Amino acid sequence: MRRPRSESLTVGDLQDAVDIATLQVLLGAKKGEPVSRAWAQNIAGRRGFPLPVLDHPRLRLWLRGDVEAWMDANRPGWRG
């Protein structure tokens, strides 16, 4: 399992964090509906996807900017 970043988090970072449910919506944006939770988890586990800033058995969070940059590079047209 990949390790999360070792940087310190701020409250602002967590306010704009992406959880798995938000990731489902972002990944499905091009088609207009969220992808399945299993598919979102599969994508999040792939090499090259941003590391989570919080990785807990019940909650994983990614920085929105990191996820959006990955989406721009790997899912062109997702912004609509």
pLDDT band of 4, cuts 50, 70, 90? low
- What confidence tens digit (pLDDT) does each residue in 21-74 have? 999 999 999 889 999 999 999 999 999 999 999 999 999 999 999 999 999 999
pLDDT band of 1, cuts 50, 70, 90? very low
pTM exceeds 0.85:
no
Structure tokens at 36: 């399945």
Average pLDDT over residues 12-25: 90
At residue 7, does pLDDT exceed 70? no
Segments making up each domain of the chain, as ranges:
20-74
Give the pLDDT confidence score for residue 48 in this predicted structure.
96
